[in-house]
Amino acid sequence: MNISRFIYPLLILISSLGASGEESPEIPHIRQILLGLEVSGPGAYLLEPEVFTGQLSAAYEFRDHWFVAAEGGVLEVLADKADHRYQASGLFLRLGSDLNILFRPDGRHRDKVILSARYGLGYTRQEAPYIRIVDPYWGTVETEIQPESIWAHWLEVGLGLQAQLAGNVYIGWALRPRLMLYQTQTQSMQAYRISGFGRNTSSLTLGFQYSLYYRIPLGSQSR
């Protein structure tokens, strides 16, 4: 097992911090657009088939190594069990900025170490048409939860790595703590998942994304 491909950018970063005096010919930096497809959501679907999340992203390098980024996606939850039926669906959008802190003027590699900040906005609609709660002492109660909508917004800050797989195809992960700023107070039940935020168990959660990226060079040389 080898995860060096993913640790490698960090090692380069560390070594580049200490490097000095080594002259290499500079290669003009070419700005880019990165289009991303999150694969960890569909991967998790194999383990928890009741929950599906999908996400696309785009990042535009508006200034050398600085990106303005947008991520959008969907959430679908459908649990149809003997003692409960629950369904939820939602959309989300995250906007923010990335900074690639792994860059070298000689352009010897294109891997990235990304610092990210995002503002997230999510809409989730949930209902539970059938709930049966069995209490061994008092007996069984059956109830339901009518459809209700939840708006939420939150902040994310984190770190990610992107490694070049081949040509303009990259793969990478991002680890971002998420801090809930606001969510609609529901009448009958707290949302199980917030679209784009994840499990709604705490106002602070840890988000993990694993994505494939396609790089589109913009061709404009900044130097």
Interface contacts to other proteins, rule CB under 8 A: 1-6, 40, 43-44, 47-48, 50-51, 77, 79, 81, 83-84, 86, 128, 131-133, 135-141, 143, 145, 163, 165, 171, 173, 188-190, 192, 208, 210
Q: What is the rounded distance in angstroms from the CA atom of residue 102 to the CA atom of residue 9?
A: 7
Q: At closest approach, how far in Å is the CB of 186 from other proteins?
A: 9
CA distances from 137 to 82, 141, 144 (A): 20, 12, 21
Nearer to other proteins, 208 or 214 (CB): 208
Nearer to other proteins, 103 or 173 (CB): 173
End-to-end CA distance of the chain: give it in Å, rounded.
40
Q: At closest approach, how far in Å is the CB of 82 from other proteins?
A: 9
Nearer to other proteins, 12 or 33 (CB): 12
Q: At closest approach, how far in Å is the CB of 163 from other proteins?
A: 8
- Provide the strand spans (E) within the chain: 30-38, 51-63, 66-80, 84-100, 112-135, 139-166, 169-183, 193-194, 198-199, 204-221
Q: At closest approach, how far in Å is the CB of 78 from other proteins?
A: 8
Nearer to other proteins, 149 or 190 (CB): 190
Encode 183-217: b = buried (16+ Cβ within 10 Å), e = exposed. beeeeeeebbbbbbbbebeeeebebebebebebee
CB atoms within 10 A of CB 32: 18
How remote is the C-alpha of 115 from its chain's centroid?
13
Q: At closest approach, how far in Å is the CB of 149 from other proteins?
A: 16
Nearer to other proteins, 7 or 218 (CB): 7
